[in-house]
Structure 1
């Protein structure tokens, strides 16, 4: 029984929210439950077919939703949290660390899946991204000391648009199209985001925008910045919304408490709905077929690639050996990896060169890394002695809570 449009949308939202509520209630990473629920109502029971419901608008809407998610996440990136030496390892992780991860991931995919170098590079680029939707809740549980907490939180946000852009470039190389350049793509997106942030601040500062309209205006401006950047370069929109969020998080012109309130509610709605939609699209037989190979790829990523990337990226930083070991053991993949794989898979199909391994392998990596790091992260942090004292509370996204119950990200 396949649901019609209204029933399908209602089911997506219900499961997206319900999965997160249940995850918090039972202490299981919600991403695991969301992926299982999406697989259940999609390929297993056949109740939900997002492509039939949304048609050709499915993947543009997914990309737009991801951009809003990055906007919401980047609103928490108060750069003052990069004090105490956190800036150097973050820069290292999103530059040379990303390069090592991309190359290592490509080599792992090439060796295990017997792919062509060009197709292996696509998977390598996608696994560059982190999983802020997984890392944030884990940080709230682990309560790492500073600067370790900031390093992990900032890496998770900044690395996502970089990995997505590199993945698009890799796909175009594989399809012999003109690859977008990371520099122009990033510059275009950042410029659009900065312009959007400035226009929003000018409007609010002028007094033209009443308080109840400030959140809707911010969302509207973020979407316009996204659309404008995307019109110039694929994936530039992710840079735009990230840049706009970071700019708003670090300005002192207007208060953005209401935007944080938006993020804590609508952001959860977006995350849950995206995971349900994307997992409902997965071919369960393909996922099972590639599972052994996926497990081997994850083993190489977790035991070889991530430690190597961390070692190179954090050399001569303020992080201690134990803190570097914790960074090496914290690399889940999340919604950006899953959505990027789904969108790029369509590119391959439309070009007449299907890439059957892409979606099941990437979704397998997302699921396995969520389970792996979700279950082992807290005990590994305890064993390494990098957890903060109980009284240093963190909010649900991993931001330190200071006096009055507000978080650093809200100040």
Structure 2
């Protein structure tokens, strides 16, 4: 046991984020690492049991965290994303959910041995996937936009629908089994669900109105949003349990489609909070399980139920609901396979297990075990298979990490050509059609639009590109681009050409903000273009055991500009004085070299051949 509750809180957050790091470092599914970590420190070694240690605070903490996670996910659901995907998303979220409910309930009754009443409750709940498990998988797998968007929308939209279906099924059971049936409870359920959706919409509109009118200062906007999210969830959930999820989802979608810039600015902060909460809550839930529950999931009826849910119920519901929706067979196959269950299923099932047992349904004792079995097996199976399957179905963007260059000029076009030669995905973005003439003539992929505009965000697929280079002739614009996209690409993957002026040695503010300075501080864009005009060439040099990096440095010309390193894995490391870049054997250095150096090498080669 840990020495104090404070120490336990620290340990939960530390292990949660540590699991995320291990997953990133070794390219493993984060939810798998978190689940295993929680099981080890909880039921296996008995270090903590959050459900017992937190007492009456345990359920409210989990509920609020789930509400914030679901809100953050729904804040990314812009209707503009649905261009061409509205039909399959709608079908999966309605027809597909209904088919999955019916088939899942039949499976629970005939395979898991549950009574009809309990089977229909748990069948409604198990249609959910949710952002807690889908988002980490999408982040890991790098799917193509269509299947990624479908899985994201389904996970967030169906989350509250599944919880409401479970509540609806329970109310129907109570109504049908009552000695004196009264439809009041059913009417209350539909009224509460309608109120939750409207209340969420009103909360979203109210926050948007206040932000647009400037009634809240910038430093209070994020705290205000989180406070209203908790208010929105709590009010709806107090009226009818589980309707709070519907309410926060409606609030998030409302804000996402109002086009408020300050909400977009907070998105990365809220995503960071969501990752922290997902990590902590997954550790808490798995650490609170009992060892008997874990052992029980390997019983034949539970394993049979899980296998049918994964290999029959899910694929069948997707294929039937997406008939004539324009999805390809491969897309249906991938979406039909990926359906990991997560936090919502675990938390809501424990609630229904309690109320069903209180209502006299003794077979509800198995609900927690059944839920954990489905969560554990789907998380493991889908977590490890999504990347492999996406590649097999040609639905993955995997490959060498690409580079997106903002600014079309002689240097960036030649840089793009050198990257294309080594099969690195590349694209040049510029708002000037005239400047893009160089890219067009060179056959370099390009996109004609203002990079910071909303249209670019919705029409330009940025998934293949892990690096961003701002290389326009405006230093302030380069700094703005880097500052805007640093949260998305990461601090070490965003670069800008040097803003320094060699004559005045300017240290203007744009040199201090946004992005690392590319190549050398003393070599700005004007110098790079001048070198290209002077005949400088892009040369590849491999470092080997016989030809070391030190020898390469000794032989290089003083005017040579180191551009980037290609690692044997295909990873690109761009040169920057702000980063330690030391090539090793097997690395290829690409540099911009003076033409006289290249001519000398050619002459020496001809002499040797002669």
Normalising by the residue count of structure 2, what TM-score does the alignment of the two structures yield? 0.62
- Residues 40, 113 of structure 1: alpha-carbon distance in 2 compared, 3 angstrom cutoff: same
Secondary structure at 1:113 match in 2: coil
Distance 1:351 1:389 in 2: 51
Equivalent in the alignment of 2:378: 369
Cα distance in 2 for partners of 1:346, 1:12 equals: 26
Match of 2:153 in 1: 154
Q: CA deviation at 1:117?
A: 0.9
Answer whether contact 2:391 2:398 (CA < 8 A) is retained.
Answer: no
**Counterpart Cα distance in 2 of 1:272 and 1:81:** 27
Contact 1:93/1:310 (<8 A) preserved:
yes
Matches of 1:38 and 1:258, distance apart in 2: 33
* Partner residue in 1 for 2:138: 139
Give 1:213 shift: 0.8
Per-residue deviation, 1:353: 4.8
1:262-341 matches, within 5 Å, as 262-292=269-299, 293-341=301-349
- Tell which deviates more after alignment, 57-66 or 165-174: 165-174
Q: Does 1:199 align with 2:198?
A: no
**TM-superposed deviation, 1:301:** 1.3
Counting only pairs closer than 5 Å after superposition, residues 3-402 of structure 1 correspond to structure 2 as 3-83=3-83, 85-173=84-172, 178=185, 183-292=190-299, 293-351=301-359, 353=361, 355-388=364-397, 390=399, 391=402, 401=462
- Which residue of 1 is the match for residue 504 of structure 2? none
The answer to whether the Cα contact below 8 Å between 1:67 and 1:241 also exists between their aligned partners in 2 is yes
Q: Which of the two has greater strand per residue?
A: 2
Equivalent residue, structure 1, for 2:541: none
Cα–Cα, structure 1 residues 226 and 202, in superposed 2: closer, same or farther, change >3 Å?
Answer: same
Higher relative contact order (CA 8 A, sep 6+): 1
**Are 1:392 and 1:400, in contact at CA under 8 Å, matched by a contact in 2?**
no
C-alpha displacement of 1:316: 1.1
Residue 65 of structure 1 deviates from its aligned partner by 1.4
Deviation at 1:255, TM superposition (A): 2.8
Change (3 A) 1:70 1:144: same
Structure 1 runs (4+) greater than 6 angstroms displaced: none
1:344 Cα deviation after fit = 2.3
- In structure 2, distance between residues paired with 1:369 and 1:69: 20
For each residue in 1:381-401, what CA deviation from the matched residue of structure 2 results, as whole angstroms up to 9, or x when unmatched?
A: 2222222475499xxxxx954
Contact 2:144 2:395 in 1 (8 A): yes
Contact kept, 8 Å, 1:294 with 1:361, in 2: the verdict is yes
> How many residues are matched?
403
| Structure 1, unpaired ranges of 5+ | 394-398
Q: CA deviation at 1:132?
A: 2.4
Contact 2:69 2:131 (C-alpha < 8 Å) held by counterparts: no
Secondary structure of 2:246 counterpart: helix
Return the offset for 1:286. Answer: 2.3
Q: Is the 8 A contact 1:2 1:46 kept in 2?
A: no
Check conservation: 1:196, 1:244, Cα contact below 8 A.
yes
Q: Distance in 2 between matches of 1:392 and 1:284?
A: 48
Whole-Å separation in 1 of the counterparts to 2:319 and 2:4: 51
Residue 54 of structure 1: CA displacement?
2.3
Task: Output the TM-score relative to the length of structure 1.
Answer: 0.90
SS at match of 2:262: coil
* Structure with larger Rg: 2
Task: Structure 2: state its 5+ residue gaps.
Answer: 179-184, 405-459, 469-480, 489-610
Task: Name the CA shift for 1:59/1:133 in 2 (closer, same or farther; >3 Å).
Answer: same
- After superposition, give the CA deviation of every residue in 1:203-233 in whole Å (9 maximum; x if it has no partner): 2222221111100000111111111211222
Q: Given that residues 248 and 256 in structure 1 are in contact (C-alpha distance below 8 angstroms), is that contact kept between their aligned partners in structure 2?
A: yes
Secondary structure (helix, strand or coil) at the match of 2:168 reads helix
Deviation at 1:7, TM superposition (A): 2.1
| The 10-residue stretch of structure 1 (291-300 or 330-339) with the greater mean CA deviation from structure 2 | 291-300
Larger displacement relative to structure 2 (148-157 or 46-55): 46-55
Deviation of residue 319 (structure 1)?
Answer: 0.8
Change (3 A) 1:245 1:38: same
- Determine the C-alpha separation between the residues in 2 that align with 1:93 and 1:181: 27
* Cα drift, residue 300 of structure 1: 0.7
Q: Deviations over 1:283-314 (max 9, x none)?
A: 22222123243332221112111111111211
CA RMSD after TM alignment: 2.6
Q: Could you report, residue by residue, the CA deviation over 1:218-263 in whole angstroms, capped at 9, with x for unpaired residues?
A: 0111111111211222211111111111111111244323421222
Which range moved further: 342-351 or 37-46? 342-351
Distance 1:70 1:303 in 2: 27
Distance 1:386 1:181, change over 3 A: farther
Please give the alpha-carbon distance, in whole angstroms, between the structure 2 residues aligned to 1:22 and 1:364: 24
**CA 1:3–1:96 in structure 2 vs 1: closer, same or farther (change >3 Å)?**
farther
